[in-house]
Amino acid sequence: MGSLDKDRFQKELAIRYCLARGMVPFPEVLVSSSSDLSDSPEVLTDLDVLGLEFLSDGELRKSLFDCKSGSRLSAINRAFWVSGVMAYTSCDHGFVLLKAKAVSNHRLSALSIRVDLHSEESFVSLGKTLDASFPGSSYYQSSIERWNHVDGIYSANGWSMDIRGLVRNAVPLAKSSSTVFRRIIAELRAARGSFDPGKPSHICIFLDAISSLMVLWASLSRDARRFYVPGMEKAEFERILRLYLWGGREAYKVRQLLTKDRSGSDLSTSLVVDFPAWDQLVSYFGLVIDAPQETFKCAHLCREAAFRVGGDRDALLDASVARYASNSPRAKQFSCGMIDYIVAACGLPRDLGRAASEQILAA
C-alpha cells in the first residue's frame, strides 16, 4: 500500500466499501502455506483487502477484494483466479475491481462463481447504495495513509512484527478462533517487557491487537453459547470451556503431560492446565456470551481508537466514532473488559491498560 502502489486508489475504495457495509477491513493479508514444515512461514499470495462481516449469531462472512488496475488477464480469467483463492482461503464472496469495464457476459458468468466484476465507476455506484456519501472518508480507517502510518509504527518497533503478523494475517483467515487466540496471548506475553505505556505508538499497537481479538471473540462467544446451558454448574462450564480453548480432549491431555514433564509432577496425579488469569477469562465469557454481535462491533471501535492515538486527531472523524459508539451500547464495556483481561493474562503494564481504556471511553 505504499505511495507508488498503482492499485492504491482501488484498495482505498475497497476499505471504504467494507466500512460502509459494516465489515471489518484487513488490507494486504498474507496467505501462508497450509503446510508448516519450514523454519519461517511460506507466503503463497496476498489478498488486497479482506472484509469480515457479522451475519448472525457469531457467523462471519468473508469477502475478498482483488484490486487490479493493470492486469493482463481478461476480466473472466481474473474471476477464475479469484475463485480459486476464495476456495483456498474459505472466502464467501469476491469482488474484482478493474480499471476498464468488463463485458456484460463476463460479469454475469462471474456471478455464478460468487465473484462480482466491477469497474471503479460501477463499484462507486454500488457503494452509494449503502451510503449516499460513499466513497467519502467517514472513519479513521477510511484513509490508506493511516493504514500505512500504523504499519510504519509496527516496523519502527521490531519486537511487534510477530504480533502484527497474527492480528493482520492469522485472524482474518482463522479456521480455529481458539487456536489463533492462544497464539496471540503467547505473543503478547513474550513482548510484555517491550510495551511502554507512555508511548502513543505502543498504545496504538496494543489497541490494534485488541481489535483483532474482538473479531475472534465474535466466534468464541458464539461457540460458548452452544455448550452453555442455563442453570449448569460453574465447574461443568469451566471443564468444557477448558477443553474447547485447548482444542479438544486429546490436545488438552497432551498439554497436561507436557506440563507435568516440565514441572516434574507425579504423573499419577491430576493436573489442571488453565489459561492465564483463568477466573477473569471465565467471567468475561459470562459477560459476552449473550451478545456476540456486540463483540464484533468492538473490533471497529478499538481499531478506530488505535488509528486515532497513533496519528493526528480529526474532529469530524471523532464525531463519527462517537455516533458509532452510541449506537453500540455495550462495545465500550466489552472492549475495556478485554483490555483488562489481556493486561492480566499477559503481564502487561497496568498503565498500558488504563491508557488504552481511556482511549475507548473517550470515543
pLDDT at residue 68, as a whole number: 82
Is the per-residue pLDDT at 209 higher than 50?
Answer: yes
Strand order in the sheet with 43-54: 24-32, 43-54, 60-68, 93-98, 115-119
pLDDT at residue 59, as a whole number: 82
Q: Which residue has the higher pLDDT, 37 or 310?
A: 310
- Does a structural domain hold residue 1? no
Q: Could you say which of 89, 119, 136 is where a domain stops?
A: 136
pLDDT at residue 261, as a whole number: 61
CB–CB of 36/66 below 8 Å?
A: no
d(CA 238, CA 236): 5
CATH number of the structural domain spanning residue 63: 3.40.1350.10
- Beta-carbon count within 10 A of 16 CB: 25
Are 208 and 321 found together in one domain?
yes
Is residue 303 exposed (0-12), middle (13-18) or buried (19+ Cβ within 10 Å)? buried
Are 337 and 298 found together in one domain?
yes
Is the per-residue pLDDT at 255 higher than 80?
Answer: no
pLDDT tens digits for range 94-125:
999 998 899 999 999 999 999 999 999 999 99
Q: Rounded to two decimals, what is the model's pTM?
A: 0.93
Are 162 and 126 found together in one domain?
no
Are 111 and 216 found together in one domain?
no
Are 67 and 186 found together in one domain?
no
Are 82 and 156 found together in one domain?
no
Are 78 and 194 found together in one domain?
no
Is the per-residue pLDDT at 218 higher than 50?
Answer: yes
pLDDT tens digits for range 124-143:
999 999 999 999 999 999 99
- Does a structural domain hold residue 94? yes
d(CA 50, CA 25): 6
- Does a structural domain hold residue 2? no
Are 233 and 326 found together in one domain?
yes
pLDDT tens digits for range 258-312:
776 665 555 444 556 678 899 999 999 999 988 888 899 999 999 999 999 999 9
**What is the tally of structural domains in the chain?**
2
> 30 forms bridges with which residues in the sheet?
46
pLDDT at residue 260, as a whole number: 66
List the grid coordinates of 312.
493526528
pLDDT at residue 163, as a whole number: 97
Listed in sequence order, the residues at least 6 apart from 29 whose beta carbon sits closer than 8 Å to its beta carbon are 46, 47, 49, 50, 168, 169, 172, 173
Are 89 and 211 found together in one domain?
no
d(CA 317, CA 112): 39
- Does a structural domain hold residue 3? no
Q: Could you say which of 83, 101, 136 is where a domain stops?
A: 136
In terms of residues, how long is the chain?
363
pLDDT at residue 268, as a whole number: 44
- Does a structural domain hold residue 252? yes
Task: Report the pLDDT averaged over residues 52-64.
Answer: 88
The range of the structural domain enclosing residue 336 comes to 144-361
Are 99 and 221 found together in one domain?
no
Of 10, 8, 28, 48, give the one whose Cα is nearest residue 124: 10
Query: Which pLDDT band, with edges at 50, 70 and 90, does 54 fall under?
Result: very high
Are 194 and 55 found together in one domain?
no
Of 71, 73, 76, 85, give the one whose Cα is nearest residue 108: 76
Mean pLDDT (the chain) is 91
Are 282 and 346 found together in one domain?
yes
Q: Could you say which of 136, 165, 180 is where a domain stops?
A: 136
d(CA 195, CA 206): 8
pLDDT at residue 5, as a whole number: 74
Query: Which pLDDT band, with edges at 50, 70 and 90, does 1 fall under?
Result: low
Q: Out of 5-14, 210-219, 271-280, which region has the weakest mean confidence (pLDDT)?
A: 271-280
Measure the N-to-C terminal CA separation of the chain; round to a whole number of Å: 28
Is the per-residue pLDDT at 4 higher than 60?
Answer: no
Query: How far is the CA of 75 from the CAs of 12, 64, 106, 121, 270, in angstroms?
Result: 21, 16, 7, 16, 61
- Does a structural domain hold residue 97? yes
- Does a structural domain hold residue 122? yes
- Does a structural domain hold residue 317? yes
Task: Report the pLDDT averaged over residues 308-328.
Answer: 94
